[in-house]
Structures are given as structure tokens and as C-alpha cells.
Amino acid sequence: MIIPIAPRASDNLRINSCASVCTRHSFTSGSNTLAYARTDRAINVIAQLPMVAHTVLLDFTVSSSVIADMEKRSGLKSAIANVLAEHFTGLKPLTESNIDGSLLVLYTGPRGSLITVRGYTEGLITLNIEYYKQDDQEALLTFELAKELETALQTAATATRSHTLTPIKRGGPFERYYPTADERLLEYDIDKLVFEARSPYQKVQIVHSKSLGNLLVLDELQNMSEADLIYTETLMQRGKENYAGKEIVILGGGDGGLLWELLKEKPKFITMLEIDDIVMKACSQHMRSICGDCLDKRKGDNYEIIVGDCVKALAHMIEEGRQFDYVFGDLTDIPISTTPHGDAWDFIRLILNSSMKVLKSTGKYMTHGNGASCPESLKMYEEVLSQLCVPVTFTKDRAFVPSFFEDWIFYQVSLK
């Protein structure tokens, strides 16, 4: 069990029982209050206070000769120190060192801030300002003030270029940063941790975003938000495929979004194979705008959810000779790697080959790939498709997925 913020012995703790398996807690620390619901399997957080470390990052470029020449380097350090002293009351030098011909100076500033100045032999200068900010405190250095500091430093250092990043926020009860497919950093407008638990398979979180609504995060990777209907509709090729009266298998799909949308198309029967029951229970409670009530029970008039390993379930279907009109692979993304080898690629091949064996001759395998920013991995996946146990053809589509902040590629695979 994971508790986002634990009370200290000195905190004023108030406990109220709300159910036999759920106890609601709140505690105060000074003027701050945190409330959360504790169950036997997870923490459902009602509100948190974002007390985090802020890191402001600036960089400049000067002539490499300024770093290489001892006298010029000394003048540069003095110029930077003078500007910093004008912007930070009580600035004090902490230590200074040379590293492989480059310069390093550390300062302490107001509110326990640490300021690092690093000058590289190539002429790059980085300046990092880190401090701790509580929710009710004003920022030590807003982005506007950081830009003013950048301008002053660029002038003092006679820099040819400069740049300032918005403050990076670290720590606190929830994360704000997640990567794109090609590992670029995205900051989300997350303001609350709604649910958190660790299942036998992965870390499961649901956070709230001001613009996206609730967002499912698995093992620190964004998976599905309440704003991502386009993901599901592109995966199922809504308007292009006819699911009425069809037999369908979903591999994965624990958020329930695909199952819910497919049920609207009047299929004959859907079998969903999902290994993580905690994901489904969390989504049924906190992601109802995308999954409706289809995760409330494991069997309906025209669908069944089987909790277990989809690989074993597929093998059993192959043994029984069962065949389907559609198989959806709503599992792992295409791996980002230099070659199509390793456990993740082996798993993808296994899923693909097994799925082909349960498809009708007119059937289709529908899946998502990865970001359009990863063409090398997408090409490797297409090469894998050309080497399956049976010959196939494929088409692909793309859509901008709001919670991914990028275009995503989707595949439709048919038997030749």
C-alpha cells in the first residue's frame, strides 16, 4: 500500500470511520490540511498540498576563450556574482572548483536556495536555482523574474545566446511530468492524486488534470484520460468498421474504454482478457466517463471480462479452434529500441502470431503502435508483421491523443 503523505506524530490527526473497509482520515500541520480515504488495497486521495522543490534552469553561450583564459574566466565569475547579488538578498559563495578546465561555483541564497553556476570549456554556462516552496508561499523566482535575470546575466556575460526554462517542480504527493514516446519531457496540469495502489503487476495511479480530467497512469506512464475518446475511436476505426453481430476479443483494455465503445456498436459478443483487476476496479470508480458501467460486473448480456493472462487464454482458444471477427491488441506499446529483439519484442511476436490463429479469414487484428515521433520503431514493427506465421497485409491510421500530447499510430492487420 502506498500513502502519498504520512502524518507525523506531532500532527493533529482526526479519524472518522466511513465503512468497514474504508476509513476516512484527515490531519493538519500548521495551516495545511490533507484528507484521504484508506482502504485495504489502495489510497483514494481527496486533496493534497503541493509542497515541492522548484528548480529554475538558465543557460548561456559565451566564447570558449572566456572559459579557457584564467583572467577572462575570473572576470566572468565576478560579473555573474554581481548580477546574482542584485537579485538574491544575502547571496553567499559556498564553494568554488575547476573541473577539467571548466568552472563550478555554488552559492546559497534566501529561503535556503542553492545556486549552481557551471561553465564548460566549450563556452556553455548553466545556472540552476533550487529552493523549496510551500503551497502558501510566493515563488522565490517567478518565470517573469527569471527572464529578467536571464537578460541581466546575458548582458553582463556578453553571451551570444541565452535561455530560461519554466520552474521544474519535484516532490510532493503527485507527479507532474511524463515522457513522450521519444522521451521528451511533458509537464501536465495535474492538481490531485485521485487513486494509487500497487497491483501484483504494476503501479496504478489515477491523477486529475485540469484540462484532461482524470488520467490513468501505469508504472509512471500516461495511459488514458477522460479526454481521449479519439484514441479509442481510432483504434476501433469507428465509422469504417462494422461491428454489428460480430464476435470480438480484447487483449488488455483494462480501462474499459474500448469495451464500452464497442458495446455501443451492437456486437454479438465481446470477450475481454485483462490481467489486472485493480486497474479495472479503479477505472470503474474514477473513469466512468470513458468506461460507463461495463466494468461494474464481469459478465453482461453480450460480453464477458476474464481476469487472467491473455497469452494462456489465447492458447486455450487456439486449442478449442475458436475464431473471431476482430482481435484487439490493447496491450504494451511498440518498444523503443535499436533492434527488434528482447523480451518486449518476443511478447509482441507471441501476441501477433497467437491472434492470427484465432482470426477468421475475413477477420482483423486492431492495435495501437507508438508515437509518430518514433519512425524507426514503427518500421521495425512493420518488419515483424511481414515475418509472422501467416502472411498478412496492414493499413495504419494516426490521431492526436490529448493526454499523450502527440500523434499516435494505429494498425489494422488482415490475413492475406
CATH number at residue 309: 3.40.50.150
223-261 per-position pLDDT tens digit: 999 999 999 999 999 999 999 999 999 999 999 999 999
Q: Are residues 312 and 323 both part of a single domain?
A: yes
Q: Within 13 A of 226's CA, how many CA atoms are on the CB side?
A: 17
Quick one: pLDDT band at residue 1, thresholds 50, 70, 90? very low
Give the catalytic positions in this structure.
Answer: 330
CA neighbor of 122 nearest in space, from 68, 179, 44, 51: 68
Q: Cell numbers 519554466 correspond to what residue? A: 166
Rg (CA), the chain: 27
Q: 9 in a domain, yes or no?
A: no
> Which of 140, 170, 200 finishes a domain?
170
The x, y and z cell numbers of residue 261, run together, are: 465503445
Q: Are residues 234 and 210 both part of a single domain?
A: no
Q: Are residues 180 and 186 in contact, defined by beta-carbon separation less than 8 angstroms?
A: yes
Query: Which of 215-243 are b and which e, b meaning 16 or more Cβ less than 10 Å from the residue's Cβ?
Result: bbbbeeebbbbbbbbebbebbbbbeebeb
What confidence score (pLDDT) does residue 16 get? 31
pLDDT above 70 for 214: yes
pLDDT above 70 for 9: no
CA neighbor of 309 nearest in space, from 347, 350, 276: 276
Measured between alpha carbons, how far is 94 from 134 in angstroms, rounded to an integer?
25
What confidence score (pLDDT) does residue 50 get? 59
What confidence score (pLDDT) does residue 42 get? 52
Domain housing 123: 51-170
68-114 per-position pLDDT tens digit: 999 999 999 999 999 999 999 999 999 999 888 889 999 999 999 99
Q: Are residues 300 and 230 both part of a single domain?
A: yes
Q: 38 in a domain, yes or no?
A: no
What confidence score (pLDDT) does residue 335 get? 83
Lowest mean pLDDT among 134-138, 160-164, 322-326: 134-138
pLDDT above 50 for 141: yes
